[in-house]
A and B are shown apart, each in its own frame.
Chain A
Amino acid sequence: MLCDNCKERDAVVHLTRIVDNAVTQLHLCEKCAAAKGVETTLSVPQHPLGDILQAVQQQASATSEDAAACAFCGATARDFRATGRLGCPHCYDAMEQSLRELLRRLHGSSRHVGQRYDAPVAHMVDKPDTLHDLRDRLRRAIDGEQFELAAELRDRIKALETEPV
């Protein structure tokens, strides 16, 4: 059902209003509901799994992100929708916008307020890619038909292989 207000997005908030003994129903999307100052209950999910799948489905409209693959693991937003799982830590940056929204829906917040973490000093600089890692990533990119990424990885492997030891 579409939102009564914007007629674009799905209605997720259903209001029953009684004015002069007449009952009217108002169906709003989350954005329009928020604009009208209506508190939504989405921040307290009743069934986490159902909610995540629903929220992931609702992001289907973000088609521009679908094609873009994470430069590290080659996962796409479409992969995420199919499995409910991200491909690697870098996916959080690759899909930052939509993830922020999803996290807000799932947890009622998208900002970590707990313990901070600093990686051990020896690992502060990214470890150089090993041939093993790059080959694994290349195979994954090919499996996922991420050919642009595959070409880049192939070049990096070639460069590493020809590097003087």
Chain B
Amino acid sequence: MSEPRPGLDLSLLPDGGVRWLDASGPNSDVVISTRIRLARNVSGYAFTGRAREGERLRMLAQVRDALSAVPSLSGSLLLRLEDLPLVDRQLLHERHLVSKELAGLDPQHPVRSGAAVFLGEGVGLLVNEEDHLRLQALRSGFAVAQAFDGVTRLDRELGGQVPYAFHREFGYLTACPTNAGTGLRASVLIHLPGLVLTKEIGKVLAGLQQMGLTYRGLYGEGSEVVGNFFQLSNQTTLGRSEEELQDLLVRVVRHVIEREEEARRVLVRDAGYIIEDKLWRAYGTLRYARSLTFDEAMNYLSGVRLAVGLKLITGLSVYTLNKLLIFAQSAHLAHLEGKVLTDSETNLARARYVRQVLLSEGSGVE
């Protein structure tokens, strides 16, 4: 049997699910997006990993019934992941709308029954992930307070309808004890090419770990760092209030942004033409290559993004670059082409797509 063709109608997604890409938020030349998620479980049910199919389905039904009284998700789109072909689940994951676990992308753990996502304007609710409920808000740029407001409102509304599992001492109870307490993980997706090129990154990452923050790749836990994109987030969730966790992230990320800006100044001062040559070559490759792997595309995009930040390349918007970051991934390319692609077809399609976007949206480049 051949793999089902991609069929998800993306126009159904509220704001395409990618408004956070539009580079309208603060510091969006360095910080692509801010995400806050809250892990919650519904009392009276086994956690998802131990629940049987019937329990997971009843839990989903209970949440769905409650949503009529949750304004944050009024008119939200419900997607049952078990009903979607792999390529569509992968697409939602590429848009950072569902986790790898919920999308069942790991061949060892195929998508489970009852796995679902509700997508509203700027907020989402994942059901039957590792925890029953993962509430999340995504915002453009470095916007911790705004993301927190969005997710807190959803939390208050939903928690008033569905009984969360809460413990007098341990706070919100989660399947993995690493998330207990507030259940809050606040993260920013940040681009740090200056720190990587000046080899300062090791010190910065070690420093933030000492401050109680951790880093991951583009797609969170277990993902590789590519293209100098890092996801920085709080490491612990218990013993500090939600406000303290936010403050910590804001303080440390602000410092990291300053270090990145300083590193960029040093690069231009000490290695001006070498850097300029390197970044233009990155642009040239993206503009003319006929086949690009994902890692190649991310690394060259990182170079072009830095060049735009340094104003070496003009006429290209950060939004265009953000778009490439998401839309040049394999499931998005499969959607564009209307069929499931082999690896080499994906690389050809990626190069073609990147060329077209740079040609049509980057015409002001000298």
Contact = CB atoms under 8 A, between A and B. Distances in A.
Interface stretch (A19-27, A41-49, A157-165): A41-49
B239 A108 contact: yes
B295 to A, nearest CB: 24
Q: How large is the interface on A (under 10, 10 to 19, 20 to 34, 35 or more residues)?
A: 35 or more
Interface stretch (B18-26, B44-52, B113-121, B307-315): B44-52
Nearest to A102: B177
Interface stretch (B83-91, B167-175, B253-261, B321-329): B167-175
B180 to A, nearest CB: 6
B299 interface: no
A107 B236 contact: yes
A86 B175 contact: yes
B52 A136 contact: yes
Interface stretch (B5-13, B207-215, B354-362): B207-215
Interface stretch (A1-9, A31-39, A120-128, A148-156): A120-128
B72 interface: no
Nearest to B235: A48
Given A88-B47, A126-B44, A52 B239 contact: no
B294 interface: no
Contact of B52 (A99, A127, A139): A139
Contacts of A84: 176
B141 interface: no
B74 interface: no
B54 A44 contact: no
Nearest to A75: B50
B164 interface: yes
Given A116-B166, A126-B44, 18 more contacts: A48-B235, A49-B178, A52-B177, A73-B47, A85-B175, A86-B177, A89-B41, A89-B43, A99-B170, A107-B180, A112-B169, A112-B172, A112-B238, A113-B241, A119-B43, A120-B162, A140-B46, A140-B52
Interface string B107-126: 00000000000000000000
Nearest to B47: A88
A110 B239 contact: yes
A112 B170 contact: yes
Given A44-B210, A84-B176, A114 B169 contact: no
Contacts of B58: 132-133
Given A48-B178, A86-B175, A120-B160, A107 B50 contact: no
Nearest to A56: B177
A92 interface: yes
Contact of B163 (A103, A111, A112, A119): A119
Nearest to A55: B177
B216 to A, nearest CB: 11
A54 interface: no
B237 A107 contact: yes
A87 B235 contact: no
Query: For B41, B46, B58, B170, which residue has the most chain A Cβ atoms within 10 angstroms?
Result: B46
Q: How large is the interface on B (under 10, 10 to 19, 20 to 34, 35 or more residues)?
A: 35 or more
Contact of A110 (B51, B163, B169, B176): B169
Contacts of A110: 169-170, 238-239
B235 A114 contact: no
B194 interface: no
A132 B54 contact: yes
Given A44-B210, A140-B50, A114 B181 contact: yes
The 10 A-B residue pairs with the shortest CB-CB distance, nearest first, are: A109-B239, A112-B171, A89-B165, A123-B163, A107-B238, A119-B163, A107-B236, A114-B182, A88-B46, A87-B50
A100 B168 CA distance: 13
14 contacts: A44-B209, A48-B235, A86-B176, A88-B47, A88-B50, A92-B173, A99-B170, A111-B239, A112-B172, A115-B242, A117-B172, A126-B44, A136-B52, A137-B46
A78 B58 CA distance: 28
Contacts of B169: 100, 110-112
Given A112-B182, A113-B240, A119 B166 contact: yes
B285 interface: no
A120 B175 contact: no
B235 A103 contact: no
Query: For A107, A112, A123, A136, which residue has the most chain B Cβ atoms within 10 angstroms?
Result: A112
B159 interface: yes
Interface in B127-176: 130, 159-167, 169-173, 175-176
B296 interface: no
Contacts of A85: 47, 49-50, 130, 175-176
Contacts of B242: 114-115
A117 B166 contact: yes
Interface string A57-96: 0000000000000001101000000011111110011000
Nearest to A116: B166
A113 B212 contact: no
